[in-house]
Amino acid sequence: MTTMPTEPTPAPPRRPAHPLLHRACDELRYLLTAVGYFTRVPVPAWVGFAPHYLHAAARYFPLVGLMVGAIGALATLAAWLLWPPAVAVLIGIGATLLLTGAFHEDGLADCVDAFGGGYRREDVLRIMHDSRIGTFGALALVLALLLKWQLLLALGQRGGLRELLLVLVAAHAASRAMAVSYLATLDYVRPEGKAKPVAQRLSPRGLALVLACGALPLLAVAPGFGVAAIAALALLRLVLGRYFVRRIGGYTGDCLGMAQQLGELLIYLLAAAWIWS
């Protein structure tokens, strides 16, 4: 039996001799790993890949959310100058979908299909693993996207463009922080999977960075709104976490995607209510 030739593994880049430069180089690699994992943005070849990179990159996922939200905000701002607000908001949402490859929306659809169509734990995990979308998942995606569109449009028309852009950026960061925080408290339930390298326990320092990157943008929108949003996200996290444990004993990568989407929607709902009241 012959074996197929394999390409030689590229040698890792030389590390700086100074410990601080060495540490800074590693942290930059982890940040770029997070960018490459959660977006379609190409990263330099020198970043390389190893499973432990993804685990170390988990603490930077909310920063990736800040980047995604900022690009969505810039796209919305540019479109706002040329087209009606409804079109501008839709273009901004579309920009975030293109940037992430609908990564989290896919998790939402898979989870709604699985939790809605499965009864036993094994059935839920099997349906969740299926790449095909079902009726429940399709409905969830349509409702989620319509809600985002209408809530952000209401924010822009009632609260002003500045408030819309600030909330958009903050929601992408805070919702990812809420989702990633499950790594500190819940167990990953699959023996393998694309999220397995990420699914390691967050250190206290990593969790502190995650929470700070999620909370500070919300407080920057308005202190009162930020406190209310943080409290609402904490409650959502508690309810979702208990549901995940009851149904499947922990979480999967799709569960994190669902948590992110629900957290983002919750922030938009609160912001629209805050402006409207």
Q: pLDDT tens, 196-227?
A: 666 677 888 889 999 999 999 999 999 999 99
Which is more confident, 258 or 4? 258
Low-confidence winner among 36-40, 245-249, 268-272 (lowest mean pLDDT): 36-40
pTM of the entire predicted model: 0.90
Q: In a 10 Å sphere around its CB, with 0-12 CB exposed, 13-18 middle and 19+ buried, how is residue 119 labelled?
A: exposed
60: helix, strand or coil:
helix
Highest-confidence range of 50-59, 92-101, 187-196, 201-210, by mean pLDDT?
Answer: 92-101
Residues 6+ apart with CB under 8 A from 261: 104, 105, 107, 108, 144, 175
Tokens for 153, please give them: 């449009």
Average the pLDDT over 118-145 and give the result. 95
Phi/psi at 263 (nearest 5 deg)?
Answer: -65, -40
Element (H, E) at 207: helix 204-221
For the cut 90, the answer to whether the pLDDT of residue 79 exceeds it is yes
Average pLDDT, the chain: 90
CA distance 271 to 26: 37
CA dihedral of 277, 85, 174, 217, whole degrees rounded to 10:
-80
Average the pLDDT over 35-49 and give the result. 88
Tell me which amino acid residue 143 is.
L
As a 3-state breakdown, the chain gives helix, strand, coil percent values, each rounded to 5, of 75, 0, 25
Average the pLDDT over 66-72 and give the result. 97
Beta-bridge partners for 188: 251
**Category of 193 on φ-ψ map: left (φ > 0), alpha (ψ -120 to 50) or beta:** left
Residue 16 is predicted with a pLDDT of: 53
For the cut 80, the answer to whether the pLDDT of residue 17 exceeds it is no
Beta-bridge partners for 251: 188
Average the pLDDT over 2-12 and give the result. 47
Residue 18 is predicted with a pLDDT of: 66
For the cut 80, the answer to whether the pLDDT of residue 277 exceeds it is no
Residue 180 is predicted with a pLDDT of: 95
CA distance 277 to 199: 40
Average the pLDDT over 74-96 and give the result. 98
Average the pLDDT over 102-117 and give the result. 96
In degrees, to the nearest 5, what angle opens at C-alpha 265 toward C-alphas 261 and 266?
Answer: 115
Residue 3 is predicted with a pLDDT of: 44
User: Chain centroid to CA 167: how far?
Assistant: 15
For the cut 60, the answer to whether the pLDDT of residue 186 exceeds it is yes
Average the pLDDT over 144-165 and give the result. 96
Residue 7 is predicted with a pLDDT of: 47
